[in-house]
Amino acid sequence: MPLVIGGRFGLSSKEFTPGMVAGVFAELQRDQPRRRFTVGINDDVSGTSIAYPAGLDIESPSTVRAVFFGLGSDGTVGANKNTIKILGGDADQYAQGYFVYDSKKSGSQTVSHLRFGPNPIRAPYLVNQASFIGCHHFELLERVDILGCAAPGATLLLNCPLRPDQVWDALTRPVQARILSQGIKLYVIDAGRIARQFGLGGRVNTVLQTCFFAISGVLERDQAIARIKA
């Protein structure tokens, strides 16, 4: 008789990741696998949870993975959709984007998950090992685990109104510790000041989009600026 087991995933809006798939197959290989299981959360009520390698990464090293944290109506999502259009339009580039919104519109949090690479991208889940993270509002550092999805050695682009010599002391101890322990490279810009200087108001999206291209190297800077203006 074929062995058939069943389970639940996606509880509490958890992503169904490659690590969870690996956990299910590992459960099937046990001498006596559970007939009913839960994966993705710690089910301490029914005791049906199975272990899985949360950090399992099966994506190509050539794929650039980026996550951007913004606020509703600040233009972050629009800029990232434009970035996908710019890079995905190249014959030798593939692009993917997922966008997560709060239930509110203006002032709510937005998270953009982007992937770019020379090979087809087959990753139907959010980015959890980002090589580039953009925090478009400094106050989000205290509200959200911005670095929770950062890969070791990732780059953090932080929009901050403080002077360069004030930034490090303004970061929380957990953020400082994560930057040091994971070898994260920190770039800081006062995008709000630049946006006001050039008559863009509070929409820092174009400034930070240009910074992303300049720092990440996914597209030559002058070429990127020309395409943003197009």
For each of the domains in the chain, give its residue range(s) and CATH number, in order of start. Answer: 1-56 (no CATH), 64-229 (3.40.920.10)
pLDDT of residue 42: 82
Mean of all residue pLDDT scores within the chain: 91
Check: CB of residue 169 under 8 Å from CB of residue 162: no
Q: Is 87 exposed, middle or buried (0-12, 13-18, 19+ CB in 10 A)?
A: buried
Q: What distance in Å separates the CA atoms of residue 134 and residue 66, rounded to the nearest whole number?
A: 8
Where residue 36 falls among pLDDT bands split at 50, 70, 90? very high
Predicted confidence (pLDDT) at residue 188 exceeds the cutoff of 80 = yes
**How many CB atoms lie under 10 A from the CB of residue 114?**
25
Q: What distance in Å separates the CA atoms of residue 175 and residue 139, rounded to the nearest whole number?
A: 13
pLDDT of residue 46: 77
Angle 62-112-80 (CA atoms, 0-180°, nearest 5)? 80
Question: For residue 188, what are its two tokens?
Answer: 């800081």
For the entire predicted model, the pTM comes to: 0.90
Mean pLDDT of 195-221: 87
Where residue 3 falls among pLDDT bands split at 50, 70, 90? confident
Which range has the worst mean pLDDT, 2-6, 199-203, 208-212? Answer: 199-203
Give the model confidence (pLDDT) of 53-96 as tens digits.
988 999 999 999 999 999 988 889 999 999 999 988 877 889 99
